[in-house]
Amino acid sequence: MRPRRQRCVNLAFGAAVVLTAALAAGLALSYVRPSWLSVSRLSVGVVRGDVEIGWGSVPIQRTPKLWRLGHPEMTAAVIMAGPGGWKPSSSEGRLASTTGGVTAIMTLRATWVPIWPWLLGVAGLTGVAWSLVRRVSDPGCCTRCGYDLRGGAGSVCPECGAPAGGRVPGGAAGGIMSHGPAPV
Protein backbone atom coordinates (compact mmCIF):
# COMPACT_ATOMS: atom_id res chain seq x y z
CA MET A 1 0.00 0.00 0.00
CA ARG A 2 1.25 3.46 -0.79
CA PRO A 3 2.58 5.43 2.19
CA ARG A 4 0.03 8.22 1.72
CA ARG A 5 -2.91 5.81 1.74
CA GLN A 6 -1.41 4.00 4.73
CA ARG A 7 -1.20 7.31 6.62
CA CYS A 8 -4.87 8.01 5.82
CA VAL A 9 -5.92 4.57 7.09
CA ASN A 10 -3.86 5.04 10.26
CA LEU A 11 -5.31 8.54 10.78
CA ALA A 12 -8.87 7.25 10.36
CA PHE A 13 -8.16 4.46 12.84
CA GLY A 14 -6.69 6.92 15.35
CA ALA A 15 -9.68 9.26 15.01
CA ALA A 16 -12.10 6.36 15.49
CA VAL A 17 -10.27 5.26 18.65
CA VAL A 18 -10.34 8.80 20.08
CA LEU A 19 -14.05 9.23 19.26
CA THR A 20 -14.90 5.85 20.80
CA ALA A 21 -12.99 6.75 23.97
CA ALA A 22 -14.70 10.17 24.17
CA LEU A 23 -18.17 8.65 23.78
CA ALA A 24 -17.41 5.96 26.38
CA ALA A 25 -16.12 8.60 28.80
CA GLY A 26 -19.19 10.79 28.19
CA LEU A 27 -21.48 7.83 28.79
CA ALA A 28 -19.74 6.92 32.05
CA LEU A 29 -19.68 10.56 33.18
CA SER A 30 -23.42 10.94 32.49
CA TYR A 31 -24.16 8.33 35.17
CA VAL A 32 -21.47 9.36 37.67
CA ARG A 33 -21.79 13.14 37.49
CA PRO A 34 -24.51 14.58 35.26
CA SER A 35 -23.59 18.06 34.08
CA TRP A 36 -25.09 20.84 31.97
CA LEU A 37 -24.09 24.06 30.31
CA SER A 38 -26.86 26.67 30.30
CA VAL A 39 -26.60 29.85 28.25
CA SER A 40 -29.65 32.13 28.20
CA ARG A 41 -32.48 30.12 26.59
CA LEU A 42 -30.40 26.99 25.79
CA SER A 43 -29.13 24.20 28.01
CA VAL A 44 -27.02 21.21 26.90
CA GLY A 45 -25.75 18.39 29.08
CA VAL A 46 -25.26 14.68 29.67
CA VAL A 47 -27.46 12.74 32.06
CA ARG A 48 -28.21 9.01 32.54
CA GLY A 49 -26.77 7.93 29.20
CA ASP A 50 -28.40 10.71 27.17
CA VAL A 51 -27.31 14.00 25.66
CA GLU A 52 -29.99 16.42 26.86
CA ILE A 53 -30.81 19.58 24.93
CA GLY A 54 -33.34 22.05 26.31
CA TRP A 55 -34.50 25.38 24.99
CA GLY A 56 -37.12 27.78 26.24
CA SER A 57 -39.03 30.93 25.42
CA VAL A 58 -37.37 32.55 28.46
CA PRO A 59 -33.91 32.04 30.01
CA ILE A 60 -33.54 28.53 31.45
CA GLN A 61 -31.15 26.81 33.80
CA ARG A 62 -30.88 23.05 34.34
CA THR A 63 -30.27 21.66 37.82
CA PRO A 64 -29.94 17.98 38.76
CA LYS A 65 -33.63 17.69 39.66
CA LEU A 66 -35.49 20.28 37.59
CA TRP A 67 -35.49 23.06 35.01
CA ARG A 68 -35.71 26.67 36.19
CA LEU A 69 -37.44 29.12 33.89
CA GLY A 70 -36.83 32.79 34.50
CA HIS A 71 -39.11 35.63 33.42
CA PRO A 72 -39.02 39.30 34.52
CA GLU A 73 -42.43 38.86 36.15
CA MET A 74 -41.93 35.39 37.71
CA THR A 75 -39.71 32.34 38.06
CA ALA A 76 -40.92 28.77 37.70
CA ALA A 77 -39.59 25.24 38.00
CA VAL A 78 -40.48 22.32 35.73
CA ILE A 79 -39.67 18.66 36.24
CA MET A 80 -39.16 16.76 32.98
CA ALA A 81 -37.09 13.67 32.29
CA GLY A 82 -36.42 11.65 29.16
CA PRO A 83 -37.77 8.12 29.00
CA GLY A 84 -34.33 6.61 28.23
CA GLY A 85 -33.99 3.72 25.85
CA TRP A 86 -32.48 3.46 22.41
CA LYS A 87 -34.19 6.17 20.42
CA PRO A 88 -34.31 9.96 20.78
CA SER A 89 -37.33 11.51 22.49
CA SER A 90 -38.75 14.96 23.09
CA SER A 91 -41.00 16.62 25.61
CA GLU A 92 -42.59 20.03 26.00
CA GLY A 93 -43.87 21.95 28.99
CA ARG A 94 -45.82 25.23 29.16
CA LEU A 95 -46.59 27.45 32.09
CA ALA A 96 -49.00 30.37 32.03
CA SER A 97 -49.31 33.03 34.66
CA THR A 98 -51.45 36.14 34.83
CA THR A 99 -50.14 39.08 36.80
CA GLY A 100 -51.85 42.48 36.73
CA GLY A 101 -53.96 41.52 33.72
CA VAL A 102 -50.91 40.42 31.70
CA THR A 103 -50.57 36.72 30.87
CA ALA A 104 -47.06 35.35 30.50
CA ILE A 105 -46.57 31.99 28.82
CA MET A 106 -43.25 30.23 29.30
CA THR A 107 -42.40 27.25 27.12
CA LEU A 108 -39.70 24.64 27.65
CA ARG A 109 -38.81 22.00 25.07
CA ALA A 110 -36.31 19.24 25.74
CA THR A 111 -34.81 16.51 23.58
CA TRP A 112 -32.86 13.49 24.77
CA VAL A 113 -30.51 11.63 22.42
CA PRO A 114 -29.10 8.35 23.79
CA ILE A 115 -25.32 7.91 23.65
CA TRP A 116 -25.41 4.07 23.47
CA PRO A 117 -26.22 3.67 19.75
CA TRP A 118 -23.56 6.20 18.79
CA LEU A 119 -21.00 4.45 20.96
CA LEU A 120 -21.81 1.04 19.47
CA GLY A 121 -21.72 2.40 15.90
CA VAL A 122 -18.40 4.17 16.35
CA ALA A 123 -16.92 1.17 18.17
CA GLY A 124 -17.99 -1.03 15.25
CA LEU A 125 -16.35 1.34 12.77
CA THR A 126 -13.23 1.36 14.95
CA GLY A 127 -13.15 -2.44 14.71
CA VAL A 128 -13.44 -2.27 10.92
CA ALA A 129 -10.66 0.34 10.75
CA TRP A 130 -8.49 -1.80 13.04
CA SER A 131 -8.92 -4.83 10.79
CA LEU A 132 -7.97 -2.70 7.76
CA VAL A 133 -4.87 -1.37 9.51
CA ARG A 134 -3.87 -4.90 10.47
CA ARG A 135 -4.38 -6.30 6.95
CA VAL A 136 -2.61 -3.57 5.03
CA SER A 137 0.93 -4.49 4.01
CA ASP A 138 3.35 -3.44 1.33
CA PRO A 139 3.98 -5.76 -1.61
CA GLY A 140 6.75 -8.19 -0.76
CA CYS A 141 6.12 -7.91 2.98
CA CYS A 142 4.61 -10.38 5.42
CA THR A 143 0.86 -9.90 5.73
CA ARG A 144 0.94 -10.71 9.45
CA CYS A 145 3.87 -8.69 10.82
CA GLY A 146 5.01 -6.50 7.90
CA TYR A 147 8.54 -7.97 7.75
CA ASP A 148 10.27 -7.34 4.39
CA LEU A 149 10.39 -10.72 2.62
CA ARG A 150 12.04 -9.51 -0.61
CA GLY A 151 15.14 -11.50 -1.30
CA GLY A 152 14.24 -14.07 1.35
CA ALA A 153 14.85 -17.72 0.71
CA GLY A 154 12.10 -19.33 2.77
CA SER A 155 8.45 -20.18 2.40
CA VAL A 156 7.69 -18.81 5.86
CA CYS A 157 8.33 -15.41 7.39
CA PRO A 158 11.51 -15.57 9.52
CA GLU A 159 10.02 -12.98 11.91
CA CYS A 160 6.63 -14.49 12.83
CA GLY A 161 6.48 -17.87 11.04
CA ALA A 162 3.49 -17.00 8.83
CA PRO A 163 3.39 -18.62 5.38
CA ALA A 164 4.89 -16.29 2.76
CA GLY A 165 1.77 -15.92 0.58
CA GLY A 166 2.16 -17.40 -2.87
CA ARG A 167 5.89 -18.01 -2.61
CA VAL A 168 7.54 -21.12 -3.91
CA PRO A 169 9.78 -22.87 -1.41
CA GLY A 170 13.33 -21.79 -2.09
CA GLY A 171 12.67 -18.06 -2.50
CA ALA A 172 12.03 -15.77 -5.45
CA ALA A 173 14.86 -17.22 -7.54
CA GLY A 174 13.38 -20.71 -7.38
CA GLY A 175 16.09 -22.80 -5.79
CA ILE A 176 16.68 -26.51 -5.86
CA MET A 177 14.24 -28.73 -4.04
CA SER A 178 15.41 -32.15 -3.04
CA HIS A 179 12.98 -35.06 -2.96
CA GLY A 180 14.98 -37.73 -1.25
CA PRO A 181 18.63 -38.52 -0.95
CA ALA A 182 21.11 -36.62 -3.11
CA PRO A 183 22.33 -38.46 -6.20
CA VAL A 184 25.72 -40.16 -5.83
Q: How buried is 152 (Cβ within 10 angstroms: 0-12 exposed, 13-18 middle, 19+ buried)?
A: middle
3-state secondary structure of 11: helix
> Strands (DSSP E) along the chain, which ranges?
35-39, 42-47, 50-56, 60-62, 67-70, 75-78, 89-99, 102-114
How confident is residue 141, by pLDDT bands cut at 50, 70 and 90?
confident
Average pLDDT over residues 145-171: 70
The pLDDT, as a whole number, for residue 85 is 75
Query: For the chain, which residues make up each domain, given as ranges?
Result: 32-113, 140-172
CA distance 164 to 144: 10
Q: What is the pLDDT of residue 138?
A: 66
More confident residue, 16 or 83: 16
pLDDT at 167: 41
Give the integer Cα–Cα distance in Å for 77 and 50.
21
Query: CB within 8 A of 125, min separation 6: which ones?
Result: 16
Residue 138 CB contacts under 8 Å (≥ 6 apart), including other chains: 1, 146, 148
CA distances from 140 to 65, 145, 172 (A): 63, 12, 10
Phi, psi of 24 (to 5 degrees): -65, -40
DSSP 145: T
Q: Which pairs count as long-range contacts for 88-95, CB under 8 Å and 24+ apart, including other chains? A: 88/112, 88/113, 88/114, 93/67, 95/69
Report the predicted TM-score, pTM, of the whole model to 2 decimal places. 0.61
pLDDT band, residue 128 (cuts 50/70/90): confident
Sign of CA dihedral 125, 127, 128, 129: positive
Please state the rounded mean pLDDT for residues 87-92: 89
| CA pair distance 173, 89, nearest whole angstrom | 67
Which range, 40-44, 67-71, 76-80, 140-144, is most confident? 40-44
pLDDT at 136: 57
The stretch 122-135 carries a mean pLDDT of 79
Res 63 pLDDT > 90: no
Q: Which residues contact residue 24 at a Cβ distance below 8 angstroms, ignoring those fewer than 6 apart?
A: 119
